[in-house]
Amino acid sequence: MSETSLTSGQTRTPLALRFPSVLVFLAMLALFTLGVTILSEGFGIGVISTSFVKTLGKTLCLCLVALAMDLVWGYCGILSLGHMAFFGLGGYAIGMWLMYERTRLIVVDSLAASELPPTAQEISDGIATQIFGVVGASEFPPVWAFAHSLPIQLAFVVLIPGLLAFVFGWLAFRSRVTGVYLSILTQAMTLALSLYLFQNDSGLRGNNGLSGLQNLPGLDAVPQATVSLWFFWGSAFALGAGYLLCAWIVSGKFGSVIRAIRDDEARVRFLGYPVEAFKLFIFTLTAVIAGIAGALYYPQAGIINPTEIAPIASIYLAVWVAIGGRGRLYGAVIGAAFVSLLSTWFTGGQAPDINLGFYTIQWVNWWTVLLGLSFVAVTLFAPKGIGGLVDIIADRTSPNRHGADLGPDPGALREKEADK
């Protein structure tokens, strides 16, 4: 994102023109979507398999959550290592309805054969037994109270991550928890959540999680080749809309303020900005974006379980953004797409093993090591990530004047001394 500022006369220029990268991004996304559609099995010539369409659709969702991560970390400086919890919660929220409704249709179907028309209680019991049999329960836990209602569960996709982020953020930011401590707290949050969900009596089927999410209730006749494209389009649309929203947020004075908070939050306070309120706003907003991304991701994955919310997932998210280049929106998208697709390739067993004679490097095991090393290398040698290449191409480097004298007179401090 080129952060050129506004001059008089440019006030009314549309966002897209002030930020050509937004236009370029949206155009590329549209082309990509069109290309995949044409090559797909569902609507096109069938060069790309349905499962690969799903992989691409999921990747778009990961790009969206990476965008959220970039906003909260790259722009606002809050290294949240818990945003995949919000992503997972979004997935659970939509997954509950998908699972409930599909099971209900099956149960109603099977009970229709009986002589007496089934009572509502019988249907409900039937659904509960179907869903919770694996965890040895046959009653609906309270959290499923609204699982029958698509609108309510859709609202939960944004409300639950948003509310959790708001409460967590309010507590953390109000006590001025920052830096490493905040990162650790967010890790603790996502760990606690996943441990809780692992329990069978959490009401969300413990480690079994929710499954069969790829089947849309009542649309059994529609082949997966088609459904996969619906979700692919939905994901592409969400990513495009998310990108526009983020670009709008970071383009104006609000963007200025959050980048200033990232660089020197104390100074921002002395300008009169309520730093905590800004952080809370961004933290909550990005949690909502993550929830939406998750709600689009898991129907394509077909299954969600508490492993998805494990602390490591959020760490990966930070790694993607770091490798892609934080502090620029397209960097986050590039990082998430590049690393997650590469990861699919390596861990899927497609990457050729390397035989060193005395040892064979099997990528399925060594990929994580490679990823870890790349992360360290990027942090040390290319802090701007892949997105930094754009600066090199566009020749946008700036001189560094750190460490010089504060002033020519003998009483003047060196910058280091004045630092305290």
Partner 1 sequence: MSTLLEVSGVSVSFDGFKAINNLSFQIGAQELRAVIGPNGAGKTTFMDIITSKTRPDEGRISYGDKGLSLLSMSESRIAQAGIGRKFQRPTVFEDQSVADNLMMALRKARGPLRVLMFRPTPADHDRIAELAGEIGLSGMLHRKSGELSHGQKQWLEIGMLLAQEPRLLLVDEPAAGMTPAEREHTTDILREAARTRAVVVVEHDMEFVRRLGCKVTVLHEGSVLAEGSIDHVTKNEKVIDVYLGR
Q: Based on CB atoms, which residue is closest to partner 1, 352 or 411?
A: 411
CA 32/CA 30 separation, integer angstroms? 5
Are the C-beta atoms of 85 and 193 separated by less than 8 Å?
yes
Instruction: For residue 293, give both structure tokens.
Output: 């991304």
CB of 338 to partner 1, least distance (A): 25
Estimate to the nearest angstrom the gap between the alpha carbon of 7 and the chain centroid.
34
Nearer to partner 1, 233 or 254 (CB): 254
Asked if residue 288 lies in contact with residue 195, where contact means CB atoms within 8 angstroms, the answer is: no
By C-beta, is 225 or 249 nearer to partner 1?
249
| Total length of the chain | 420
Q: Which is nearer to partner 1, 114 or 398 (CB)?
A: 398
Report, in Å, the least distance between residue 167 CB and partner 1. 17
| Of 212 and 274, CB closest to partner 1 | 274
Q: How far is the CB of 22 from partner 1 (least distance, A)?
A: 17
**CB-nearer residue toward partner 1: 77 or 240:** 77
- Contact between residue 295 and residue 91 where contact means Cβ atoms under 8 Å apart: yes
* Least Å from the CB of residue 292 to partner 1: 19
* Nearest to 80, CA basis, from 5, 19, 169, 142: 169
E strand spans, 169-279: 210-211
Report the residue number, 263 or 353, with the smaller CB distance to partner 1. 263
The token duo for 297 is 């991701």
- Smallest gap from Cβ 290 to partner 1, in A, equals 19
| CB of 324 closer than 8 Å to CB of 73 | no
333-370 burial: b if 16+ Cβ within 10 Å, else e: bbbbbbbbebbeebeeeebeeeeeeeeeeebeebbeee
Task: Compute the distance between CA of residue 292 and CA of residue 69 in angstroms, rounded to an integer.
Answer: 13
Q: Which of residues 176 and 377 has its CB atom nearest to partner 1 in the complex?
A: 176
Using an 8 Å Cβ cutoff, are 263 and 65 in contact?
A: no
**Is residue 189 exposed (0-12), middle (13-18) or buried (19+ Cβ within 10 Å)?**
buried
Which is closer to partner 1, CB of 170 or CB of 281?
281
Residues near partner 1 (CB under 8 A) are 3-8, 11, 249, 252-254, 256-257, 259-260, 263-264, 266-267, 269-275, 277-278, 281, 398-401, 404-409, 411-413, 415, 418-419
Measure the CA–CA gap between 97 and 295, rounded to whole angstroms: 11
In Å, what is the CA distance from 268 to each residue of 4, 73, 273, 318? Answer: 21, 17, 6, 25
